[in-house]
Structure 1
């Protein structure tokens, strides 16, 4: 029993000796850290003092009461090296820890440091070294401010990965006389890589000439996660950015960042007024967010001129480049696959490297100028299994020059594969060694890669693509690149280039050269004028897209002096297709339904002529009364068989008589040395006419079963005393020799009368009385004979004759 009692008493003493005790600072603004009376188990005092410091102690600075009800900052220092369990700052507390005499003080934390979101912990002595050590067991998340400042060699030492984290809204200002988070090789209490983490919304404020990431170019003690802020308020130290992946970078306080190293990536880069940010003179500098430059942004000129620097925009969400500052002497600009970059400022590209677009670049009304070359890449996705990929390396080597060229290696191109991390882009190339470097290291070794490019150019420049991309170096535009035009322009397309992909017009434009389109041609409330001698070709893979009407269509121009026309060509047509063409002022679409794959050339012009050419003799006003005043010139250059051709027009092109025609009175006629008979079917309500034909010619729409020239105003047949009186009126007879009246008998139509035509301008009346009609229905028609023998036959007229001697 005594033995049991002794064990219980011993256990109680042991518990008291090693119990974790919480002490509040009650020493006021400047009391001694080591004084027992500076600490108390009760906030404000009244409890037990800290007579014997213990490694399990929890020390609290509470801003609401630092002793005797006082508030304010506390400045103190452990009297020697000390180990504690936790250090807590809460309720707006401010603690200044720092030496004022030579020497070194270490405060070790076995547990966490808590700095609440309105509290401040400053490691800021003026002499000697104050070092806050986060032991391997420590795991701290800062909500407020933890700063490493002062003229002393003050620092933090963090001994476990991610042991010190800065949460959203927290900050750390660094401005002491040594590396603020120690180095990997500090002799006493070094830090380890990736031990300090700035999370999204946390800020690291750089105010000194010492590297927070460590003591050499490869150290990464500090990790700046996506959305964190690296604020630079003084000139950078060497290798500050070397190979670093950073969140947001803000250069302010008139600081100058002049890089001689290349970083891995920056999210958003902000250069405030008076500040400067200069990227390295060669290599790719990758930005995944926005650039807002209200100061100076450009390229370092050390050790020589601009050379081969590349500003690589490689975000996966929309990015902008803008600001009111100066953009000075950039080398090249690369827009990566998946990137969607909008220019809100003009850029001067003066490097020796070639700028490259593999993603979307919205140029707005800004200009890319300078001596750089520009390559808008092709649209492609090409795979290869002849790559040498090494785990942990970003360098990929192809097996041969042929393999290298086959996959179309280029800056900004997306690289995917089983061993390639997501969002990996080509950041440098070496064609001589068949090598390229990507923006991420491979996760494993392998041999399979897929390279993809999908360029899109968008411009609001009235001078079009060449006005937007005004570099003096060579320019190339790859097959399948997409283009969007947001401003009226008469020079939309680059002076030279390959077949286009998707082309979108959000404003009216006029062609400046012939182009081929293998994607969608979209007209959004805009008219595309095809200039004389230009051809807009829609390849078999292309489609017309949009809502077409009198303000959104392709206008094919026609020169009434030379006869030159603009043309729309469609290739590989196999199904019913609306061709949204029109004259310069009217929408007159064509619908083609071929029975075999066919190619067509199409031009439409207003002002019907005698020979169906733009510079031919215009038909007279009287002739146009009974037709649509337009010519559809449709030529089939490939394909066979019949096709349905439907022509449509606005009411404004209809002659006064034609506007009252019923469906059966509307037809289509082709011109081949002369106009044929108007045939097919009409739809008066829809203002359209359809002809099924295997012969493609210039077409006009007019009165069914008649021919052009339309000299015939009227043709009548009336019964009169056992005879039929025939009369017709004509106008403006052109190249007309004579008229022949025909009467239908059991053997068909027979000539009964021939009269010479007047063949001149004017209105003329003709008549003839047929004295030997048959009893019952008689049919008559009028044939006009041209000087060259071409005939034009009218619609037959019928008259019922009752002979006087007929038996009832």
Structure 2
């Protein structure tokens, strides 16, 4: 039997066909100190009804459906029974508490200004459109319908997370955690396409919108979850990049977040645009197999699936020590696994270490007063493009300081050189980025030169920009600025301390600054 509530105050449902109704025409609101819906009773709210429960015991053994109104909680409300409840919106007022022990589905918004305890119930967010998910601990959380379902805070699952319909669960900066050892995720799998997954981001596609929040799964390892565990994640609502994770080592909690960028340190053209950020709660003791998944649209121009590997990055470069090249599986989406990972940081999919057809037989440095000469020799080149000379002052962050064209094809010995006319004071680290004609790159070994400054005078910024040269002088003296062909552009005495020479009228190029028996080169830009 169906009962309709519209502009009435329902006092009590005492039986399947029994109801006491009090007319209340001034407001479409029904308020109850006690509400019981017995088996066989089907109650339908209409006309945007507000069903108000205050300090109430709400027992639903039948069916309550209201797709237009609001379920309002005032005070302490305990929901029990074996029936089903569908509401559009739910409002939990300030200092109010809703304790659930039976299933409820919302197709609107749960506004939690008090305390929301899902308890052992099943809570379903099932609108055909976007919804916000109230933060808390759920026994069973189900997403269905369509659109984005966005976490409003950190959320825990103790039994089941159901990813149904065409739904993307958006984490934002929040974490969603599978607690214990038996909680599961249904509706999305590894090795296949999916229509629903967890988006570790804010739902956008820019790099800053991905790789946020994450999925945490507890107790993966020999004393917990011992089988392969799927993290059904993706960086955006249109890209599904799950991880399959197996740990044969010490049991730990693991977090996976994914973005839509190549793994740091990879050659972009031969990599996949996806980085999996995997971390463990307690470092050490893990022995992991990591499976990755991607689609063809994420592959860069020179990436080849039959020569690929799961790459472990330290955040700046690739560690190839336990990486094995293999062929990706599948016909779209594609999967690839790597084994023996014992520490965690960014992971990605790239081609095997690039071995360019250049045989570099020698790479040396020669320091001459205020410059450093780099020399290198090749015995064979086949398809070499150019050499980019890079310098660093800390051995970590490098900048390009010059480029030399390569011979391209040769079996003869070829010598190359480059002069750094403005090395930094102290240690200078040099390396060659060797590029082939197909855009692939690799690097030479690193060579180091230490430059000791001449204490007579120091050029503060070299190259010089903004129309001025700043010179730090130890002792006042006569200074001459001239071009390489001897034309004097400035002549005058500079005082002890910091001096500025105006070079607004000088065109870009290399110049000489002289004082006494000391000469320094200045590059004007």
* TM-score, length-scaled by structure 2: 0.59
Residue 317 of structure 2 corresponds to which residue in structure 1? 674
Alignment equivalent of 1:567, drawn from 207, 211, 214: 214
Partner of 1:704: 352
Q: Secondary structure at the match of 2:300?
A: coil
Q: 1:545 to 1:314 in 2, by over 3 A?
A: same
Aligned-residue offset at 1:346: 2.6
Output the aligned Cα RMSD. Answer: 4.5
Check 1:499–1:764 CA distance in 2 against 1; reply closer, same or farther (3 A cut): farther
| Equivalent residue in structure 2 for 1:286, among 11, 14, 30 | 14
Cα distance, 1:703 vs. partner?
A: 1.0
Change (3 A) 1:349 1:590: closer
Question: How many angstroms apart in 2 are the aligned matches of 1:374 and 1:651?
Answer: 49
In the alignment, structure 1 residue 346 sits paired with structure 2 residue 69:
yes
Alpha-carbon separation, structure 1, partners of 2:71 and 2:187: 36
Residue 80 of structure 2 corresponds to 358
The offset of 1:479, in angstroms, is: 3.8
Matched, 1:599 2:253: yes
Of 34, 46, 51, the residue aligned with 1:310 is 34
CA change 1:330–1:704 in 2 (3 A) is: closer
8 Å contact kept, 1:297–1:327: no
In the TM superposition, what is the alpha-carbon distance from 1:484 to its structure 2 partner?
0.8
**Native 8 Å contact 2:270 2:351 kept in 1:** yes
How far did residue 502 of structure 1 move? 3.3
Aligned match of 1:587 = 240
Distance (whole Å) between structure 1 residues aligned to residue 25 and residue 97 of structure 2: 18
Paired residues of 1:536 and 1:568 also in contact (CA < 8 A): yes
Question: Mapping of 1:641-720 within 5 angstroms?
Answer: 641-658=286-303, 660-662=304-306, 665-672=307-314, 673-677=316-320, 679-686=323-330, 687-692=334-339, 693-706=341-354, 714-715=356-357
Quote how far apart the aligned CAs of 1:525 are.
3.4
Instruction: Kindly provide the CA deviation profile for residues 76-99 of structure 1, in whole angstroms up to 9, marking residues without a partner as x.
Output: xxxxxxxxxxxxxxxxxxxxxxxx
Give the whole-Å Cα distance in 1 for the aligned partners of 2:270 and 2:18.
63
Secondary structure at 2:318 match in 1: coil
**Contact 1:314 / 1:335 at 8 angstroms: preserved in 2?**
no
Show the 5 A alignment for 1:315-464: 315=39, 317=40, 319-324=42-47, 334-336=57-59, 338-344=61-67, 346=69, 354-359=76-81, 361-367=84-90, 373-377=96-100, 454-461=101-108, 464=109
SS state of the match for residue 297, structure 2? helix
Kindly state the Cα deviation for residue 647 of structure 1 after the two structures are TM-superposed: 0.7
Contact between 2:125 and 2:143, CA under 8 Å: does it hold in 1? yes
Deviation at residue 675 of structure 1 after TM alignment? 1.4
SS at match of 2:133: coil
Work out whether residues 458 and 483 of structure 1, in 8 Å CA contact, stay in contact via their aligned partners in 2.
Answer: yes
Gaps of 5+ in 2: 360-377, 393-397, 414-440, 450-525
Q: Does 1:517 align with 2:172?
A: no
Compared with structure 1, are the counterparts of its residues 326 and 492 closer, same or farther at alpha carbon in structure 2 (3 Å cutoff)?
closer
| Higher relative contact order, structure no. (Cα contacts within 8 Å, ≥ 6 residues apart) | 2
Could you tell me how far apart the structure 2 residues matched to 1:553 and 1:532 are? 14
Deviation at 1:668, TM superposition (A): 1.7
Higher-Rg member (1/2): 1
Question: Partners of 1:290 and 1:366 in 2: how far apart?
Answer: 27
Gaps of 5+ in 1: 1-247, 249-267, 300-305, 378-453, 612-618, 707-711, 718-722, 738-756, 772-780, 790-808
Choose the corresponding residue for 2:380, options 725, 735, 738. 725
- Cα distance change, pair 731–759 in 1 and its aligned pair in 2 (3 A): farther
Of 184, 203, 209, 1:543 maps to 184
Matches within 5 A, 1:142-291: 269=3, 285-286=13-14, 288=16
Per-residue deviation, 1:292: 12
TM-score (norm 1): 0.40
1:190-213 CA-partner distances (Å, limit 9, x unpaired): xxxxxxxxxxxxxxxxxxxxxxxx
The CA deviation at 1:700 is: 1.4
Separation in 2 of the partners of 1:511 and 1:287? 39
Structure with greater strand percent:
2
| Structure 2 equivalent of residue 62 of structure 1 | none
How far off its partner does 1:696 sit?
1.9
Instruction: List per-residue Cα deviations over 1:557-584 (Å, max 9, x = no partner).
Output: 1774599722111111221112111111
Map Cα deviations across residues 339-370 of structure 1 (whole Å, 9 max, x no partner). 543225536758x7633223455333255588
Task: Work out whether residues 211 and 258 of structure 2, in 8 Å CA contact, stay in contact via their aligned partners in 1.
Answer: no
**3-state SS of 2:132 partner:** coil
- Distance change in 2, residues 1:523/1:529 (3 Å): closer
Distance 1:373 1:590 in 2: 40
**Alignment match, 2:444:** 784
Provide the secondary structure at the position in 2 that maps to 1:363. Answer: strand
- Match of 2:269, SS state, is helix
Q: Provide the residue aligned with 2:475 in structure 1.
A: none
CA distance in 1, matches of 2:69, 2:166: 27
Q: Distance in 1 between matches of 2:399 and 2:158?
A: 55
For 1:608, the equivalent position in structure 2 comes to 262
- How has the CA–CA distance of structure 1 residues 533 and 734 changed in structure 2, closer, same or farther, with 3 Å as cutoff? farther
Contact 1:629–1:653 at 8 Å: present in 2 too?
yes
1:625 is matched with which residue?
269
Indicate the SS of the match to 1:625: helix
> What does the per-residue CA deviation read over 1:170-194, in whole Å, with 9 as the maximum and x for residues that have no partner?
xxxxxxxxxxxxxxxxxxxxxxxxx
| Superposition pairs of residues 497-516 of structure 1, within 5 angstroms | 497-508=136-147, 509-516=149-156
Note the alpha carbon deviations across 1:120-147, whole angstroms, 9 max, x for none.
xxxxxxxxxxxxxxxxxxxxxxxxxxxx
1:523 to partner: Cα distance: 1.5
Q: CA deviation at 1:764?
A: 4.9
CA contact (8 A) 2:264 2:346 kept: no
Answer whether contact 1:335 1:341 (CA < 8 A) is retained: no
> 1:313-349: CA deviations, max 9, x gaps?
242x573332459778775664436554322553675
Change (3 A) 1:608 1:332: same
